[in-house]
Amino acid sequence: MAEIQLRKISKRWGSFVGVDSFDLTIADQEFLVLLGPSGCGKTTTMRMIAGLEDATEGEIWIGDRKVNDLDPKDRDVAMVFQSYGLYPHINVYENIRFPLKVRKADPATHDERVMKAAEMVELTDFLHRKPAELSGGQRQRVALARAIVRKPSVFLMDEPLSNLDAKLRVSTRAQIKNLSHELKVTTVYVTHDQIEAMTLADRVVVMKQGIVQQVGTPTDIYDMPANTFVASFIGSPAMNLMEGVIEGGTFRGKNVEISGLQASDGEVTLGFRAEDAEVADGNGQVNAPLYTIELLGDATMLTVRAGGQLVSVKAHKEFRAEIGDMVSFSVPTDICHLFDTATGARIGAS
């Protein structure tokens, strides 16, 4: 069993707070993603789990062991970094085998374990090559195999796909997803890429400036963001957010009027996703000039300037218009999200 408990852990350097009172239990075999912008504390949290950083406060438990005072080598975790960290002078086979030699595993088991790990990441045809002879995607798969061969209790992955090009990122992401299903090892994965988080995670932790903003399944976070930061960070494109006022159940902003909202009067920020809006024929709730148009293949993305900012709407793939043309669209009230403009916090059910 490799349940991880983070009991109000914090990390401070003098007056700077890197992570503030992080409190979470990661279930055995769960794939947890730490998501947020650079400097939010996600990598620091992972490094505390690994033992590469000491927690200033709080306790870290892996299984039934408190590991705060254990060296990284004694925590039974395997890390995969953004940089591959391969040894250039030895071939792929020996790179994968290296952790077994260091940990003095039975030499009679080495070959079988290396071959099995290499097969899982489709590297059996490259075992004789040196790292310099491999592509970036192949090197990252060697790093994955080197982690797999150890059979650790916990995998820790720190932005492992960020050095790969877009196509390789998609295929390697699929491979990590499949490996997670096969290996059933508790995994903590750090990324700033919300698409990776949405596609890989059982649960996502969204962080900002060292503080956890929301924890939930990808669907929970996408459908019910806890605040405007989460709403603007999750989704491609991000959720549209428009500031305005509600008077008698009607939201009013620049070029915007949406009626039928169940909310108290006052200043609010209204949010909706691009795919939830519906392009209308001149009688919609939002009317504004087209700022830009992007053909996506399966749809057409329209951007208008409304509510004082740029707003994205997804139209059908045959939709055509010119920049500057007036565009009209409606937003069903049952999919609108309302947030407190001052604090950014979600306002009940909208």
DSSP secondary structure code for residue 226 in this structure: S
Residue 126: the pLDDT is 92
| Burial (CB count within 10 angstroms: exposed 0-12, middle 13-18, buried 19+), residue 13 | exposed
- What is the Cα–Cα distance from 38 to 264, expressed in whole angstroms? 36
Q: Write the DSSP assignment of 177-219 as a string of letters.
A: HHHHHHH--EEEEEES-HHHHHHH-SEEEEEETTEEEEEE-HH
Residue 190: the pLDDT is 95
Residue 350: the pLDDT is 41
Identify which of 124, 142, 137 has the alpha carbon closest to the alpha carbon of residue 88: 142
User: What are the pLDDT digits (tens) for 34-55?
Assistant: 999 999 999 999 999 999 999 9
Quick check: 221 and 232 in contact, CB under 8 A? no
106's CB contacts (< 8 A; 6+ apart) are: none
Positive/negative CA dihedral, 279, 282, 288, 293: positive
- What is the Cα–Cα distance from 56 to 25, expressed in whole angstroms? 19
Positive/negative CA dihedral, 104, 106, 110, 116: negative
The ranges of the chain with pLDDT < 70 are 1, 349-350
Residue 1: the pLDDT is 59
- What is the Cα–Cα distance from 71 to 78, expressed in whole angstroms? 13
Positive/negative CA dihedral, 33, 35, 38, 42: negative
Residue 343: the pLDDT is 94
**Domains in the chain and their CATH numbers?**
4-228 (3.40.50.300), 237-340 (2.40.50.140)
